[in-house]
Each structure stands twice: as C-alpha cells, then as structure tokens.
Chain A
C-alpha cells in the first residue's frame, strides 16, 4: 500500500479519483455547480477579504515552488512585479495593464500531469488564476494551451464560460463584484490562447512571443517578464499545477502547507506540498499520482504503479521530463524532491514525471530518441543549440548503428557540455536540457556506449543542421 498523504487526503486531486483514494473509472469533469458544492471558490472569497499583499505574503511564506519545471518560488516571483503606488486619495493606485500567462503547454516528453487537472477539475485552475490576479493586481489572464490538447481546450473554454456566467470573471468583478479588502471590486478577464505545436512555447518568453502572434523565439533576459513581459507589460507566468496549489494554501494557510512534502536534505529551500507525479514506461500501472514531495522513486514505482512490468529489473529513469537527465541503475531510491539534482547528478526534479526503463532497454536508443527530440524542437536562434542538437543526433544515430568511434563519445560529451544557459552560450534552457539529458545518459551508461563504438578509421559522412535527417 502506498504511504498515506501527510495532509490525510488528496489536495490537487480532491475531486479527481486517483489511486489509492479513488478509482480512475469514477473520474468525470467537475462542473461549476459541483465545484462550488464541494467547497470550490471559498478560497477566492477568503482571498478577497485579505489585502492583496497579504495574499502574496501567504504564498511566499508557503515557499510554494513552481511546478512547471524550474522550481522557482512562486511568491517570490510575484513580488518582482513593480510596486503599485497608492492613489492621491490614499486608495489603492492603478497598476495599469499587467498580465498572467498560464503555462498549459505541457510538451516536455514524459510529462502528462497538467492534463489530469485540465481534463477533470478545470475550475481549480480558474480559482487559482482568480486569486493570483487579485493578489498581483492583474486584470487579464491568458491560458496558453498546447495545440494538441483539443479536448482540454474545449473543457477549459466551457469552464471559463461557466465562470463568467456565475460572476467569477468579467462583469462587475471577481465573485459578482464582491467588495474586497481594498474597498473596491477587482475585475479579471480570462481567455484561452491555443498553441500550434512547438515545444519551445513552453519556455516562458517563447510563450509570450506566441501570445503576441510571432514565432515562439525565447527572449533574452533581462528584462524579466515580471517587469517587461506580454506586450511590454509586467507579466507573471505560472504553470497550471502551481496555480492549482494556490487555493488550498489560501484556505488552510502556509503552515498547513509546510507540514506536507519534505524539508531540504542538503540545506536548501524546502520541497513542501504534494506534487502530481506522472509515471510512464515499463511499470505495471502507469499514471498520474498525487504524492508528498520527497517520496522515493522506488516507492512510487512499487507501491503506486504495481512494480516493474513483467517483474523486470529497474535500469534507469528519466527524472522528470527528458530535459532533466537520467537516474541510473543505482539511483532507484532517489527522493523525488527539488534537491534531487544536487544529490543524484541530474539537472533537477523538472516536472516530476519519471519515465521508467527496465533492464532490456537500449540506452543508446534512448539517447538517440532524446537527441532527435531536441534537434527537432530547437528554435534555431542560438548557434550552439541549433547546430549542437543536430550534431548530437547524428552522433547518436551513428553510435546506435554501430558506426561510431570511441572519439565520437568524447566529441558528443564535449558538444553537450558546451551548450546551454549554464555554460552561458544560449538564450534559453532548451539547450541545457539537451546537454543534461545526453551527458548523464552517456556518463551513467558509459560501458554500453563503449561496447557499441569501435576504434576504427571508417570514413564518416555527416550533414549537420538544416540538412540532417529526422
């Protein structure tokens, strides 16, 4: 049996039957009426009775960290918005136009957790959006949903319609123009913007470019979006799951939140709260489960997913989306918290959606698959990423086909290491993902790669960049 949640009951999946608290076949899309009947929008009411800064403070105190991949503290991000000077009459000043962009692009291979929230409990994210907009003095929210999420777009649009009809958004102001702690109602509009098949639009500034009707080319930072974002206005970008945490934090308080999840094991900021973990690959029951942060990967696989498929041995796991790199055969007990990167030599927890590989998996093929992904999705602005991703894919294909040389391994490692924001050669983190994924696979399964390459002088034909196949 899986360990019970520290909160005693599911939070994000309170209305989405999920093992071990409910049965998948009982799932249905929660309507506005059902959402309200089960306690929905009470957190919004509470938030409106608090000063906006107090809401931001509560989220800051909870040390909620972004669930979109980077784990950046949400409350802190919100404080980066320009301060609003009070009006001449002492009333709250006008912040002008500022935006919330909700990241529902979910395209990181292996990641399918936001979809669960979008499919079944659409009002949870809308409540989170309403609270965030009130707290951050934002008037307009765009939910950026990836183009392939057709069903999820319909559900979200329907939920927004219900929310408008019931006075949550638009009109007189949040909650039918309820008077807020500032003395005035706060009017928020909320729209869906559909993507069109580009992973790079998940990167927050690529997303903003797409919202502006341009190619999704990430922007050079600074300026950061909180200062100069969508249409040049202050903008907050948050992941769907992050926003879904906000209502319960407001309802129960930061102290309650800090009792879930885990403290840092390496002296860093804590990993509090629960997290949706989507497990795929060679397990008996793949799926999305809500767990306390800090749960061991082996517990996740054995107690939630019914163990390895066919009783095979664990060989490795993509930590949380391919960009994060791989957990090796001896890291099955890794704790799934935000410290995972420092402890186990991966980039980080990422989306906390591991893909599990059994003993029969060809790790060279895994590396080739991932290299192809990055080559395909590089937006092409930065030379190290555009060219490097093409080279890496070529090298991986060559090694997989048994045509590689020992030198190719070193070359691949050298190329990988040279690309990314962290080495300082690119605009966005896509290249870091490529780097970490390939470097950790090559290092942790070095013997497997060495077996495939030969120390020979076979002439090599190679096309890079635009002409490369795949």
Chain B
C-alpha cells in the first residue's frame, strides 16, 4: 500500500564493511544518470533500481550510501524507496512471482492460478519458500489483460497461465544470473 510507510522509526541498521553502492555503480550513475536530471534528488529512483537489481532488495546501508553519493538526506531516499512497491526493503526470495489479481485476470481464472502456485511451493501469498528461492506476491494489473491470467516471474511475463502449467513454468526457472 503506497501510503503506508514501511516501519522505519525504530529501525536498526545491519551494517557490513564492504559498501553496497559500489564504485562501479557510482561510475554508472556519474556517466549515465546524473547528466540527465536537473537535481541530484531526481537520481534517487535510478539509483534504487541499480541497487535493487544487483542485490534483489534495497538494504538500509545502501540507501545511506546512495544518499551520501547524491548529497541528499537518507530520509529523502527512504521516503522515496518506501513509497514504491517494487523496492524491497527486506530481502526476498531469489525469484519473485507476481500474479496479477486485477479485474481481467481475476475473472479469467487467476484465483486458481494463485492456488496452484501456493500448493506447488507450499507457501502463502506474501511468503518466501524455505530454501529462499521463491517469493510469491499478487500485483495489480500488469498491462497484459488480453492474456489474463498473467504473471511475472522475475522480468519475464507469462500470459494465459493455466493452473496445470504453473509447475512447468516454475521448474524452468534457472538460478544463474540476476534477480
């Protein structure tokens, strides 16, 4: 829910020695992103995307590092990051399964698809499998309504998903490469 900030007031930040926001990422930001925008704050979303893409989530320390790099306050980065659902402020599974629950999909058989995935992975919506491979969520309209039920597995869209093919789709997911 966009308007509820994720809990942060009493947040203890887990730290590590090695920076999350690496020199390579800084170089990418400096050469490609910063020149495009009038303010450095405007580079927050591209920066968060970089971090999320690399680690699969956005650790608090990474937000601090991004804030320092941009010269904005950590609160501004957290404010932005906590608003957008695509940024995970807690670790998630290696692969994200997002099933569309909006109008066209629900009435073309989405509930059975969600059930089939839940059964296959033995988790509920919002949970991660014990081995940390899959996190299952439901999303709003994915812009694939004509092919409903639709679901995203990481960056790949699957359309006209039937409960019977869910197993095969999940079995074909490979662990190498990025999140």
Which of A's residues lie within 8 Å of B, judged by CB?
Answer: 97, 106-112, 114-115, 140, 146-151, 189, 191, 193-200, 210-216, 231, 233, 278-282, 286-288, 318, 322, 353, 355, 357, 361, 365-366, 369-370, 372-373, 375-381, 386, 466
Contacts and interface: CB of A to CB of B under 8 A. Distances in A.
Contact of A110 (B38, B84, B145): B145
Contacts of B144: 112, 115
Interface residues of B, number: 46
B47 to A, nearest CB: 9
Given A151-B157, A214-B79, A377-B2, A318 B84 contact: no
B29 interface: no
Contacts of B145: 109-112, 278, 280-281, 286, 353, 355
Interface of B: 1-4, 36-39, 41-46, 48-49, 76, 79-80, 83-87, 98, 101-104, 106-108, 139-148, 152, 155-157
Contacts of B85: 196-198
A148 B3 contact: no
Contacts of B39: 212-213, 231
A194 B143 contact: no
28 contacts: A106-B143, A107-B140, A112-B144, A148-B139, A148-B142, A193-B46, A195-B84, A196-B86, A196-B87, A197-B85, A213-B41, A213-B80, A214-B41, A280-B146, A280-B148, A286-B145, A288-B146, A355-B103, A355-B104, A361-B107, A365-B106, A365-B107, A369-B101, A373-B102, A373-B103, A373-B141, A375-B1, A376-B140
Closest CB pairs A-B (n = 4): A380-B3, A196-B84, A213-B44, A215-B83
A107 B141 contact: yes
B36 to A, nearest CB: 5
Nearest to A107: B141
Contacts of A189: 36
A378 B4 CA distance: 10
A284 to B, nearest CB: 12
B141 A210 contact: no
Given A214-B44, A353-B145, 7 more contacts: A109-B102, A110-B104, A110-B145, A147-B86, A194-B49, A196-B85, A213-B44
- The interface centre, meaning the residue of A115, A318, A366 with most chain B CB atoms within 10 A of its CB, is A115
Contact of A213 (B4, B45, B148, B156): B45
B146 A287 contact: yes
B42 A213 contact: yes
Contacts of A147: 84, 86
B178 to A, nearest CB: 11
A150 B48 CA distance: 16
